[in-house]
Structure 1
Amino acid sequence: MTGGHTVLAKLVTTSDGLRYQSLPGHSQDTVTALGYLLKDPGVAAFCRRWGIPARDLELLSSLVCLLHDWGKATRPFQQAIAQGRHSPDFPHALVALPLIVDVWQRLRLPTLWPDGPLLEALAVVSHHSGLYSGLYKGLPRPNERLRYLPQTAPLLDEALAWLGNRLGDSRLRPVGDWPVDRWGSYNLDQCVNFLHYRLGGTAAGVTASGDDAATVRLKCLYSFLLSLLKRADQWASQHFESAATGLAVSVGESLTPPPMPWRLPQDARQRVKASLPSLYPYQQKLAEMDSPQVVLMAPCGRGKTEAALLWALRLWEEGQIGRIVLAMPTQVTSNAMRQRLAELLGSDAVGLYHGRSYMEHRELQRLSLSQEREADDLDPAEEREAAKSENYIGEHFLRPVTVTTVDHLLYTFVHGYRQADMALGILQTAAIVFDEVHYYDRRMLAELRELFRILRLMRVPHLLMSGTLPSFLISEARLGDYEHVSDEEGLGRRPFYLHTRDEPLLQKAEGGDGGPWAPSPRALAELVHGYREGLVQFVVVNTVGRAQALYRALKGQLGREERLLCLHSRFAYQHRREKEKRLLEWLERGERPLLLVATQIIEVSLNISCDRMFSELCPIDALAQRAGRLHRGAAKPDGHRLDIFPVAGPEPYVEGRNQPLPYMERTWQLLQNGLPVSYGWVREACDRVYHDATLGLADLPRLFRECTLFGPNHDEVRFSEDQGKLYRPRQIVMPTIDVIPEAVLEERGDEGLDPIYLAPVPVWWVGKSNREGLGLFYPHSRGSRTWLVCRLPYDPEVGFHEEALGQPLPGYVLD
């Protein structure tokens, strides 16, 4: 049991019974944790950026941390916690409002926004739930009184005196006559009205003014303060939970949490330099540059990533930032980059997040645990819990370096997930590196254009990397004022010859639309001959069906050769990752021959290189990305060749009613047979192909303004990790749905009901199955979750045997 006059804040169930932490103890621990965060060099840079006296930030953020849980000093909360219950219908964060406002007004303390503690109060109110327009509305007992405890006043004076002494600040002093009875007389509905109409009205006045600079400032200051509070609170709470088992008493006071464990190595910059034989001139220039806005042009295989890291690490050493975020085009590139940086900087320094990163963390945890113990001792529950924790850390950019996707970055600015505002606050101390910024569809590029504008208003340093950035994008995204750095030496290198072919790589058998794909006999013979000669060959086709057909034909010619691989986007996650790992192992060991048949997923994925590449025609920038995997980084062709085949169908490069993109024909017209290709030529070709390209309107400005403070909740913004609702930054050519292949379920039983065995399939498959009564899909429930199972034959070698489905209805695009 607890002491009769002790005010409780935290509760943990241990093997020895319930363990509590007092409200003053948890409040002090949260302030202690905040002290560690304030030492981050990015905090001082943030203060300089927005003209905030560092002393004032320390005081007001410390006081927010001290008082964030004082809504627990009420009878309803104390009754619930003493009984081991939660009290969601009596939200203590909301109940703290009158106390917070009175403390600031009575002590006349500085605030982040003029005319009162607007942001300080909102940070406290939203430290458990994101700030949105429906927050705390519809509580079941709106007339319930707050009923603050009578001992709140002396405890509050003691807490203020403790903090004043800690900070050496005489402004924090006991008052003695706090209006506890008045606070306790308010009801929940009055607090909700004050939150939405008084505080919300002030915020709405700023965003409605049309002053973008003021709106951005409001968002930056609120999210930054919230991030300090939430991280300090979470760290103090985690420390109590871990220490509770060792408590000899039922109620603990301050437990003094240790510093956060994640650190960027002090020699990080030296590590990056040591990973390179020497610095190219452009890398040296970036290593000495402290410009906050940079565009980097360099071809594949020339160390763009290392150059960007040297730029960011210089900012870090100069105290301008506290962390680095790398925004990648795809989940696969994110996984590969995380592994690369973890080897360079240490796994503790590097986080990862994207729509399927939980599964990647599962694999990493399994490998880590298997190195520590025997296979029979591995605990799947421990593995899942550790992966969940790592995913949370990555989602909120908590480690010094985080690798993520541009999608996740964009959703951070528009309430796209539960703790997006906290994550945005953490981004205020980051430098952001965008990889292959040219690679996206027009809708995404329009959203990125607006994101770059917001980052400029936020004064967040960022660097954009590209090998083929066309002039129209520089103009449309307003990148002219950025510092531009080019790898002129690399752009002049010519790693391969261009060779155009007369016939498609694959055509429909007998010319029918519904028949199977048949490869060109000549091309097939050349690939088989190249394999027999010991070559490393990559074949890149534009759709999954064509990749499967070519792979089967090659297998028929080569038999059971080990190093023949099919890779596309429609495998279960586990099978795709196994294939990627196998491919990398073969290449790292220099094993030959090797033949990879893939779709465009390798355009910006693995750091791999081949001797010869066959590719179907695609737009020039995508073609350059594919070619970046051919004779990677070489200065001369030395016989290496890129063979480009016309296509029997333009999918997935279509627009409108499945009309081919004009960039396909323009690209074909530019290709010169026998040309030794340089990236300088590719850049000029991109400008010619996209000379009339423009970007349309974006949704980000409107939604960012709505989400400045309040606005839609995360479940209104998106359906899931991979599917937007109010906000859809990508143009979805082929909508998909995740399913479990029945073949996996038959092989593994209920163990196959695991996210790692989910495979994306086109939505039109489900529609066709329903219309024609094929019965290809059915639900399968286990516990509280229901999975959609696909009966279509599947194997880890080629994926679903989808040729039997034929063609989609008009309006759907094959991928």
Structure 2
Amino acid sequence: MEPIELCGFTVSQVVHKTVDTDHKTTLAEIWAKSPRPGSTRGETLIGHTAAVVARLGDLHELFPNLAERVGEPRLWHRAFWACVLHDMGKIAKGFQAQLRPGGESWGQRHEILSLAFIEWALPDGNEGDHPWVAAGIASHHRDISDITRLYSELDDSEDDPVSSLLAEVSDPIVEAVANWIAIDSSKLARKNKLPELEVFPDLPAHPAANFRELAVSRIHNALKAYRRLVRKLGEQPSSSSENLTALVLRGLVLLADHTASAHVRPADLPFKNIEEMVKILGLGRTDALFPHQREAASRSGHALLVAPTGSGKTEAAILWSVNQKANGDCRGRIYYLLPYQASLNAMHARLSRHFPESVSLQHSRALQALYRNLLEKGYVPEKAEIVAHREQALARLCHHPIRVLTPYQLLRGAFRLKGYEALLTDAVDGLFIFDEIHAYEPKRLGMILGMIEHLRRNLGGRFLIMSATFPSILAGVLHRVLGEVVHVSAGDALFKQFARHTIRIVKGRITEPAVLEQIAQRASGGESVLVVCNTVATAINVHRALSEPLSSIAIVSELIHGRFNARDRFGKEQNLLMKMGTRNRQQTATPAVLVATQVVEVSLDIDFDTIFTEPAPLESLIQRFGRVNRGRRHTSCDVHVVTEPLGGQGVYEKEYVAGSLRILEENANTIINESQIGPWLDRIYAGAIHEKWAKEVSDCQEEFAVACLANLRAFQSSDELAEAFDKMFDGTEVLPKVLVTEYENALDQDPLRSGELLVPISSGQFWQLRRADKVLSSSGADPIVVDVPYDSIHGLKLN
């Protein structure tokens, strides 16, 4: 057989001796999907397959350098054939009956039957494609452990389930599939602008007879080849070219199949250059940008960005990402990573205003947050629920070009949670913007750094990491994982321009009458006062102590912390933004008092006149100060720090708190120049503190590399790692007993609203409640009901 060239593709001159020109009519009765609501016909097999290959073409357009990235020039060839053949086993009579109304489960796996057709598509096998295509087909629903359990490695057992598959397929259908592979596969490649592929299937003269004779042995051979490939991959480093190829091969097939099934295309951002983006972001003209924004917009490669709070770091980061894409250096998705859900929700809303329908929100409560926002926009509950579920589904499909998420969503890939190959494939050549990276404690930071290094080394990720403060110790570890890094700084002039806080040291504890009196006096003088405590218990006590003196002057204090349910916290935040949001503040003072915990540090764009705060690490204090005079309405505003307690209160390390307070005391009654914060932090993180912090970060990064990254191979999601992930990152949500009736009513009338009544607590707090017999639900029940007081003013009262 001599192949010929046609439109850049090599196709066979010989199909087989009898060409059934009516094969499409025959296959039109073969479904791949059940009928959608309101329809009586399911999606056809050839229609779905064409859609999957089309989505593969979209992915090639998004990731044109993927084959070079993983070092496998035949990647797209293998992915193409895996997509073409992945659902051919759905021709089975049992599967077709399953799709019809009233149909029962077939009991077999269609992807196993699909393996019978590989050798028609790849007749010679001299390029080593067979095992890879078999892996792409066999793994598009289940891991290899599931397939091996269902289909034994022994092909001569008396009850071999593969043998029974032959009776499921009729000869006319086999003939039609043969013709479709021979005639239409090359058309799909050309139509979807896939790279030059060797598309020359070789069909026997009598396909049905050939299938009856050889299908069972071909299926077993394909399964053996798949298993040998997996064993071979297990003998190589996880970062080897073949292991990376396996990850992205399965990722491509999953992404193409899932997006085709959902009838959506992966979206890309439409803008092309910096000038266009400056207008989209509402920054005026390019020459009106702050210096650090202009520099970020011109830099290629990894960058560390240091600029004052409120000086447009987010806009600078977006401009940096546009420059990477415009230069063709990195064409991947944009990931905007933040530590807390409240700040993620706010950033999603902010970016969505600039890029409608292009931004996804990914965290454990994203569905409720999306639903709530839609209701705020005036959607009726039924419509809001539909749209919120669709947005979440699109996020799972990796649809949006901009993702707002926590780093823990990326870590899901390293912990091999189900679908991890698709997540990691979608991250190839990604542009990762880390905001407020100082907020992570050393152990979690170690894992995040390990993931950053993996994404950079193996998947071509580019990183911009930004903060108002960068101690040398943090910059040092970032240099270690990123290699060559560009430093972008706002410069001394801008830091001086943004200097807006005068340090005031207040002796004693925040709960002492003298301190509480100062707070009340500032409020009675017409100022808005932010009070920040390190623990929920202290915040509740301070709020109670202030209620009486403030009510006597007609000021109602507000309380926000992490132990409110989503409904009450959202209501408090919206009310606060209306009164104290940076955009809403006027020159005139607005008397108000907010008592909060550290949740206020990075979550809300609010602007108070002054603050009283408990001692904390300097990075946290700077974030708290950033909620004062944020809009620079005044030349400078006082920021008060009490001197006790110094022990960290079980929240912070004592050494960091004591060192930070010492620095502030030395600079009491002076205006903070944020350019000096870096040197201050270097003094705090010196000597034994430096060594302890660096060791903790390094040890955890190494443990993460050994436990997760060293075993990051395709086809093998891990239940053990998934359980460890849940314990480390997901926490626990509980339903206070007092809200049970309301929850049950909401579950019947507005299910998404019911989730807003759950209160987040740590795993440690949950086990304390369990030991105290405060957990009323049986093990494994959902939701977990607890006998703990709760009200919308004070939240969950554990103490």
TM-score (norm 1): 0.81
Measured in 1, the distance between the counterparts of 2:38 and 2:603 equals: 51
Gaps of at least 5 residues in structure 1 are 240-257, 506-518, 655-659, 806-815
Report the equivalent of 1:697: 700
Report the equivalent of 2:294: 284
**Contact preservation (8 Å) 1:161, 1:174:** no
1:607 to partner: Cα distance: 2.3
SS in 1 for 2:438: coil
**Contact preservation (8 Å) 1:105, 1:116:** no
Q: Of residues 308, 316, 323 in structure 1, which corresponds to 2:325? A: 316
Cα pair distance change 1:663/1:769, threshold 3 Å: closer
Measured in 1, the distance between the counterparts of 2:36 and 2:395 equals: 29
Specify the code of the residue in structure 2 equivalent to 1:546.
T
Q: Of residues 3, 6, 9 in structure 1, which corresponds to 2:31? A: 9
Measured in 2, the distance between the counterparts of 1:528 and 1:701 equals: 52
**Contact preservation (8 Å) 1:566, 1:598:** yes
Cα pair distance change 1:103/1:356, threshold 3 Å: same
Q: Of residues 304, 307, 313 in structure 2, which corresponds to 1:304? A: 313
Report the equivalent of 1:724: 726
Measured in 1, the distance between the counterparts of 2:352 and 2:466 equals: 21
**Contact preservation (8 Å) 1:540, 1:616:** yes
Cα pair distance change 1:203/1:127, threshold 3 Å: same
Number of paired residues? 724
Pairwise mapping of residues 509-658 of structure 1 onto structure 2 (< 5 A)?
519-559=511-551, 561=554, 564-588=557-581, 589-590=584-585, 592-632=590-630, 634=632, 638-647=636-645, 649-653=647-651
Pairwise mapping of residues 366-405 of structure 1 onto structure 2 (< 5 A)?
366-367=375-376, 370-371=378-379, 378-379=381-382, 383-405=384-406
Pairwise mapping of residues 92-111 of structure 1 onto structure 2 (< 5 A)?
92-100=110-118, 103-106=121-124
SS in 2 for 1:618: coil
**Contact preservation (8 Å) 2:267, 2:399:** no
Report the equivalent of 2:452: 452
Pairwise mapping of residues 451-490 of structure 1 onto structure 2 (< 5 A)?
451-457=451-457, 458-477=459-478, 478=480, 479=482, 481-489=484-492, 490=494
Measured in 2, the distance between the counterparts of 1:395 and 1:527 equals: 47
Measured in 1, the distance between the counterparts of 2:391 and 2:471 equals: 37
Measured in 2, the distance between the counterparts of 1:439 and 1:305 equals: 17
The answer on 1:44 being equivalent to 2:64 is yes
TM-score (norm 2): 0.82
1:546 to partner: Cα distance: 0.5
Cα pair distance change 1:550/1:426, threshold 3 Å: same
**Contact preservation (8 Å) 2:121, 2:202:** no
1:473 to partner: Cα distance: 2.2
Deviations 1:168-204, CA, capped at 9 Å, x for gaps? 56832342216423553249877655433x1211211
Report the equivalent of 2:193: none
Specify the code of the residue in structure 1 equivalent to 2:149.
K
Cα pair distance change 1:396/1:670, threshold 3 Å: farther
Report the equivalent of 2:21: none
1:608 to partner: Cα distance: 2.3
Specify the code of the residue in structure 2 equivalent to 1:204.
G
Deviations 1:93-127, CA, capped at 9 Å, x for gaps? 2332343366335375x6xxxx3344433232222
**Contact preservation (8 Å) 1:218, 1:708:** no
The answer on 1:751 being equivalent to 2:746 is yes
1:633 to partner: Cα distance: 6.5
The answer on 1:201 being equivalent to 2:210 is no
**Contact preservation (8 Å) 2:332, 2:427:** no
1:330 to partner: Cα distance: 1.4
1:566 to partner: Cα distance: 0.6
Report the equivalent of 1:226: 250
Measured in 1, the distance between the counterparts of 2:743 and 2:102 equals: 40
SS in 2 for 1:38: helix
Higher normalized strand content (fraction of residues): 1
Report the equivalent of 1:513: none
Gaps of at least 5 residues in structure 2 are 1-23, 153-158, 191-195
Alpha carbon RMSD of aligned pairs, Å? 3.3
Cα pair distance change 1:460/1:768, threshold 3 Å: closer
Cα pair distance change 1:299/1:125, threshold 3 Å: farther
1:638 to partner: Cα distance: 2.4
Measured in 2, the distance between the counterparts of 1:284 and 1:595 equals: 38
Pairwise mapping of residues 13-162 of structure 1 onto structure 2 (< 5 A)?
13=35, 18-40=40-62, 43-47=63-67, 49-50=69-70, 59-81=77-99, 85=103, 87=105, 89-100=107-118, 103-106=121-124, 115-129=128-142, 131=143, 133-138=145-150, 143-145=161-163, 146-147=165-166, 149-150=170-171, 151-162=173-184
Cα pair distance change 1:51/1:218, threshold 3 Å: closer
Deviations 1:52-71, CA, capped at 9 Å, x for gaps? 66xx6654433332212112
| 755-764 or 534-543: bigger deviation | 755-764
Deviations 1:218-262, CA, capped at 9 Å, x for gaps? 4543343334333332333334xxxxxxxxxxxxxxxxxx85566
Report the equivalent of 1:677: 672
Specify the code of the residue in structure 1 equivalent to 2:85.
L
Measured in 2, the distance between the counterparts of 1:718 and 1:60 equals: 30
Deviations 1:694-713, CA, capped at 9 Å, x for gaps? 12233332212313123443
Cα pair distance change 1:19/1:332, threshold 3 Å: same
Deviations 1:690-737, CA, capped at 9 Å, x for gaps? 122312233332212313123443x432349xx535xx4x6xxxx953
Measured in 1, the distance between the counterparts of 2:250 and 2:283 equals: 38
Cα pair distance change 1:747/1:459, threshold 3 Å: closer
1:29 to partner: Cα distance: 2.5
Cα pair distance change 1:48/1:689, threshold 3 Å: same
SS in 2 for 1:20: coil
1:741 to partner: Cα distance: 1.8
Report the equivalent of 2:200: 173
Measured in 2, the distance between the counterparts of 1:299 and 1:17 equals: 57
Cα pair distance change 1:738/1:156, threshold 3 Å: same
Q: Of residues 759, 784, 790 in structure 2, which corresponds to 1:794? A: 790
1:15 to partner: Cα distance: 6.7
Specify the code of the residue in structure 2 equivalent to 1:97.
L
Cα pair distance change 1:772/1:559, threshold 3 Å: same
SS in 2 for 1:724: helix
Specify the code of the residue in structure 2 equivalent to 1:790.
V
SS in 2 for 1:760: strand
Specify the code of the residue in structure 2 equivalent to 1:344.
H
Measured in 1, the distance between the counterparts of 2:218 and 2:133 equals: 21
Measured in 2, the distance between the counterparts of 1:302 and 1:4 equals: 64
